[in-house]
A and B are shown apart, each in its own frame.
Chain A
């Protein structure tokens, strides 16, 4: 969970990409990004068409013999209650992905709003917003979430999403504010102002596009945070125990002592999926760091470079 801390720390000074332009090419060139993307795509497909992966239609129904081990019919065996573990896994993908993307998206929107406004409004507004951000940042949000989730009646999905957004925006807001501040004094912003453009134009057409890579990195970070925190909450039993998700699988597995009763895959498989989804976001996030700050890119050995160059010239030039 500490993956979120790996930020480029060059939010203020690094050479900044002017437009989203060569971003795709850069992503393609980074092995980490490709692995992360691949993992994510697999999960996306699983979420969209679970029928492709398993023949079970209702994963929560107690329709099989309980406690079976792995077999051809049940790839991961069955739970102590008689459900196909693999089917649950596949159908559970949807909720986790939804949580990651939706909570991540809204948290990022909030971060951008607060961060960029603080940078542009300046003065008292800036002070207030920054103070607000810092308070949220420091408040121990996990205990808060636990308390909130309990009181809100054993968390429906909506509650969890709201809670995640409310607690997840503050980290990004600081970073975005720092970058927006530094961009404020850059030439292209100055020239827009001198041309007489309205502040809203300056913000939307000049500043935000330049901050694209940081915003994307923030989104990935927020998604990662949401996935892990939601899983943690559901694991503790604070989600909806009847929903189909990885977190609730973990909850049931834990309450049925899966590890100790010879059904470790019941606990470990959903956990592994959470881990993999988290890892895919973390890899993409890290790759974005490297894109934004070329100094961090892996130094390829001279031999590899020559091979690369040879391959390129054979293919007809870069």
Chain B
């Protein structure tokens, strides 16, 4: 129980830190939302209208900072994210976000989880079969792929599969322009072909890391006494590999997955930028370019929540798989 409380406290603390950063950064940096808004609307809107737009996401320059802060927190948490003041001037932030969310979830979310699962599987088998020619070739190869920058792999794939093939695979956007979203085979096919290169980019760059960590963990685990005991008991190789070795080797990997989400988000932003894929990362980039504060704030909070949720899921998974963790105190002593 104290463990759960502690985790909850941690989540709330992190969320609060993110929101606070979000609040104070614009206010301490050069430039001001008011000025930006005025520029964007080409001075066409009345001051009252301007002020109304600003207050919609908590920017009340004339009020006490503390009051603003509390209002802001309240707004963020209740989903009142205001109105966009960037390129999509006037649109409610919630709507913009809702349109982009499924694309990022689909592309980045699915490929990341896939890379993790597939990578762990390959790593398990690789660790189990040590010493072959494969084992001396693979690790260096994957060390290399895991250090490649996301955007470079993306650019390379675009060059090879899109430019050189004269456009056989699309390198832009999430579906052919002019199509209406519907569950028709044509649309689905279009979506799939547009998602192929970005997904491949993410998969190629992230799978290497998982394969290597799982392999290393397996090797360390295989040296443990209880694995030898499994052999002594005459259990089948498959049983030892899964229930004795992999199940223990997996645990640090799961913990690592939660910590890797920072990179996942970085990757999402870069890949979406390179491929003009209209997900949340692309949105963030544009919001920053256009000083669209309300959108930026909402996105930053969303990213934080997404990471926290993933951390929570991993924690639960570890609690299920590792009976020791249910009683262990988080400080690791």
Contacts and interface: CB of A to CB of B under 8 A. Distances in A.
B17 A5 contact: no
A148 B25 contact: yes
A229 interface: yes
B147 A275 contact: yes
A5 B155 contact: no
A274 B150 CA distance: 11
A2 B165 CA distance: 30
A139 interface: yes
A286 B215 CA distance: 13
Interface in B260-293: 260-263, 265-267, 269-270, 273-274, 284-285, 288-289, 291
B285 A278 contact: no
Contacts of B139: 286, 298
A299 B296 CA distance: 51
Contact of A232 (B146, B151, B252, B303): B151
Contacts of B25: 147-148, 151
A268 B156 contact: yes
B288 A295 contact: no
Interface in A6-35: 6-10, 31-32
A249 to B, nearest CB: 12
A230 to B, nearest CB: 10
B165 to A, nearest CB: 13
A147 B267 CA distance: 16
A259 B284 contact: no
Interface stretch (B80-88, B93-101, B216-224, B238-246): B216-224
A279 interface: yes
B288 A140 contact: no
Interface string B278-318: 00000011001101000010011001101110010000000
B180 to A, nearest CB: 27
B45 to A, nearest CB: 24
A139 B13 CA distance: 11
Given A5-B259, A151-B30, A264-B159, A295 B220 contact: yes
B90 interface: no
Contact of A140 (B205, B252, B274, B307): B307
A146 B288 contact: yes
A81 B258 CA distance: 44
A38 B21 CA distance: 42
A32 B143 contact: yes
Given A235-B270, A264-B159, A147 B288 contact: yes
Interface in B192-223: 205-206, 208-210, 212-213, 216-217, 219-220, 223
B10 interface: yes
Contacts of B303: 140, 143
Contacts of B208: 2-3
A231 interface: yes
Interface in A276-296: 278-279, 281-283, 286, 289, 293, 295-296
A138 B11 CA distance: 9
Nearest to A270: B152
B123 to A, nearest CB: 10
Nearest to B28: A151
A152 B216 contact: no
A6 B332 contact: no
B159 A268 contact: yes
A101 B262 CA distance: 22
Contact of A135 (B17, B265, B270): B17
Nearest to A6: B212
A282 B143 contact: yes
A143 B284 contact: yes
B61 interface: no
A152 B29 contact: yes
A151 B267 contact: no
Q: Interface residue tally of chain A, by bracket?
A: 35 or more
Interface stretch (B48-56, B66-74, B129-137, B226-234): B129-137
Contact of A279 (B143, B156, B210, B266): B143
Contacts of B114: none
B307 A250 contact: no
B235 interface: no
B26 interface: yes
A153 interface: yes
A5 B260 contact: yes
Given A2-B206, A135-B17, A10 B146 contact: no
A232 B260 contact: no
A225 to B, nearest CB: 9
A126 B213 contact: no
Contacts of A138: 14, 258-259, 261-262, 304, 307-308, 311
Contacts of A272: 152
B140 interface: yes
A130 B331 contact: yes
Nearest to A282: B147
A152 B289 CA distance: 13
A3 B13 contact: no
B181 interface: no
Contacts of B79: none
23 contacts: A1-B263, A2-B146, A3-B147, A5-B260, A9-B213, A9-B217, A32-B140, A135-B17, A138-B261, A138-B308, A140-B261, A140-B300, A140-B303, A148-B25, A151-B26, A153-B30, A259-B159, A264-B159, A271-B149, A274-B152, A283-B144, A286-B212, A295-B219
Given A3-B143, A135-B14, A267-B159, 19 more contacts: A6-B143, A10-B220, A130-B331, A138-B261, A138-B304, A138-B308, A139-B17, A139-B307, A140-B265, A141-B262, A141-B266, A143-B284, A151-B26, A232-B266, A250-B151, A264-B163, A274-B149, A283-B144, A299-B135
